[in-house]
Amino acid sequence: MPTGQKIIQKIYYSIGEVAVMFDVNKSLIRFWEKEFSIIKPKKNRKGNRFFTEKDIENFKIIFHLVKERGYTLQGAKKKLRENKEDTIKNVELVNQLKEIRSQLAAIREVL
């Protein structure tokens, strides 16, 4: 996910909002939904997907593994099956380090 982007806190997010959060196409969001069983959006009668905060957190993990770490889909699935808790902790740590890095860069610009 691009750094410095604010996320609006809501109960449900549309597929378009999720795609914007991760700067990917809606089709990739639909594809990941089919590929990863941890993503379970609510659907209305028309079939529109509505993602919860839990789904967003799962997308962050998948995004980190596939887009940032370069895992294949099979590799990401295996990693989540074998060691989901450590993977979640690693993703959180990486996100915290990115935030610290951006803050340090902002401080350096001021100096």
Contacts of 59 by beta carbon, 8 Å cutoff, 6+ apart:
18, 21, 22, 29, 32, 39, 51
Instruction: Return the percentage of the chain with pLDDT > 90, whole number.
Output: 60
The rounded mean pLDDT for the chain is 88
- pLDDT 10s digits, 3-20: 555 555 778 999 999 999
Burial group, residue 72, by CB count within 10 angstroms (0-12, 13-18, 19+) = exposed
- pLDDT 10s digits, 74-104: 999 998 888 878 888 888 888 889 899 999 9
Domains of the chain: 13-110 (1.10.1660.10)
Eight-state DSSP code of residue 50: E
Task: Give the pLDDT mean for 35-55.
Answer: 92
